[in-house]
């Protein structure tokens, strides 16, 4: 089944058609003949929020296992075949989904579809103790390199655990703990595949220089015979009060290059007008060198070498506002925190100026255009809105909803939730004495593992 592509108002002329196979696989196609490439994106509705206590990190570990071979493709063959055909590929895991994607020369599209279908339908034929141990070691090493052995590396993990209380499905991050990675068994992985890696738990998008009729024929040929299966448990309820009710705080003494103030705020769930308003608020406050916090702390006071404020959108739980400030040499964190609170209180009382609204909305519009301007970005966005909100067409008009947000709505969300009693705070203190030679070595903390 499907429907005709019709450009919606605010979609920039982009179109998408939707189809569903008999086994439940949802398919979204979007033609774009500008360049001779095609992107394939496959989202499975499973992420770390579906994991149970004692088996954290299993969704991410399984993402790695999906590249270890399937019935027809041995070992590292998936990478070798795609890259040998001139394409690129990868996969990521988040709280709310696991995705796999390839960008191919248009004439190699059939290969990418066959590869994705082969591992969806036959991964268990190749999943054994050797591949399990191999990828367990890879994931543990990734944890060491990205979390445990880098400055501020565990900040995201710590703040997430504070914002989402013990027992909450978002309490742990997708990377998982070393103990749980060690505890995962081959049977755990097999059961995980049987539960979540089914066509009726996935959305497949194909974007680019494609012939829709031929593309659908290939999809039916390779995916149509894969059986659906039920039995997937519903994700646990992620709702929480919109305000934590107190300020949670932890001081971390580590070998870091500079003192730092990091904080996470509970904010509205993705897919709401309030979340779009929060996105604009954080963009004005900490989105780049024209933001209020950068102007105050870095340019004017010179108490910080970096100051940023961004939004982690979450659909099944409150989103998180992420504040990250690295201090200048000799500056104490309480001085930074006082200035931050002063700026947030002023913003909550006065709201944004017309110029700030225009600049922030233009910045978010540019980011949206950047994502949808590439075939891979558009394929990913179509999958995201299909999996999380049930309608891929929403991806094509998302920016219109951001541009409709008013200054009063931005001020209101700031007053309601950018408050000291609605945040978890990490204060980093270096183990070495402050010698005045500190430099900013911060890197953006990725949320997709």
Q: Is 254 a catalytic residue?
A: no
CA distance 96 to 236: 12
Q: Name the one residue in this structure whose structure tokens are 């019709």.
A: 6
By the 10 Å C-beta count (0-12 exposed, 13-18 middle, 19+ buried), 53 is classed as exposed
CA distance 6 to 17: 8
Of 383, 271, 388, 369, nearest in space to 18 by CA: 383
Q: Calculate Rg over the CA atoms of the chain.
A: 23
Provide the residue count of the chain. 449
The answer for 10, left when phi > 0, alpha when psi is -120 to 50, beta otherwise, is left
3-class secondary structure, 359: helix
State the catalytic residue, choosing from 18, 31, 51, 63: 63
- Strand ranges, E, within 278-430: 304-312, 319-327, 422-430
CA distance 420 to 341: 8
What crossing angle do the helices spanning 273-286 and 407-417 adopt, rounded to 10°? 80
Residues designated as active site:
63
């Amino acid at each position: 089944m499907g429907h005709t592509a019709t450009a919606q108002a605010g979609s920039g002329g982009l179109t998408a058609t939707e189809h569903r196979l008999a086994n439940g696989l949802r398919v979204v196609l979007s033609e774009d003949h500008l360049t001779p490439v095609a992107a394939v994106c496959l989202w499975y509705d499973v992420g770390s929020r579906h994991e149970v206590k004692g088996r954290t990190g299993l969704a991410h570990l399984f993402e790695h296992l999906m590249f270890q071979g399937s019935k027809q493709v041995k070992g590292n063959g998936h990478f070798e075949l795609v890259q040998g055909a001139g394409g690129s590929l990868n996969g990521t895991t988040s709280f709310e989904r696991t995705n796999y994607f390839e960008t191919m020369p248009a004439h190699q599209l059939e290969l990418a579809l066959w590869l994705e279908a082969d591992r969806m339908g036959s991964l268990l034929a190749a999943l054994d103790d050797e591949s399990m141990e191999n990828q367990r070691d890879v994931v543990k090493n990734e944890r060491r390199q990205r979390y445990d052995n880098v400055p501020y590396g565990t900040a995201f993990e710590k703040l997430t655990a504070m914002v989402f209380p013990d027992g909450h499905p978002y309490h742990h991050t997708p990377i998982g703990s070393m103990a749980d990675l060690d505890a995962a068994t081959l049977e755990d992985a097999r059961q995980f595949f049987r539960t979540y890696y089914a066509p009726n738990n996935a959305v497949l998008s194909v974007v680019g220089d494609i012939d829709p009729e031929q593309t659908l024929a290939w999809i039916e040929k390779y995916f149509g015979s894969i059986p659906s299966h039920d039995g997937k448990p519903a994700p646990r309820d992620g709702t929480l009060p919109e305000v934590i009710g107190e300020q949670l705080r932890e001081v971390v003494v580590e070998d870091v290059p500079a003192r730092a103030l990091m904080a996470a705020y509970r904010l509205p769930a993705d897919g709401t007008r309030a979340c779009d308003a929060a996105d604009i608020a954080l963009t004005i406050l900490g989105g780049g060198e024209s933001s209020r916090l950068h102007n105050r702390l870095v340019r004017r006071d010179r108490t910080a070498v970096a100051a940023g404020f961004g939004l982690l959108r979450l659909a099944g739980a409150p989103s998180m506002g992420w504040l990250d400030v690295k201090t200048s040499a000799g500056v104490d964190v309480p001085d930074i925190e006082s200035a931050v609170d002063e700026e947030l209180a002023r913003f909550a009382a006065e709201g944004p100026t017309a110029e700030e609204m225009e600049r922030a909305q233009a910045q978010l519009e540019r980011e949206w255009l950047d994502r949808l301007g590439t075939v891979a970005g558009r394929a990913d966005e179509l999958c995201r809105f299909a999996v999380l909100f049930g309608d891929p067409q929403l991806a094509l008009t998302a920016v219109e909803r951001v541009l409709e947000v008013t200054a009063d709505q931005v001020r209101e969300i700031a007053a309601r939730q950018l408050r000291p009693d609605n945040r978890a705070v990490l204060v980093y203190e270096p183990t070495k004495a402050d010698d005045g030679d500190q430099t900013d070595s911060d890197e953006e903390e990725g949320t997709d593992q």
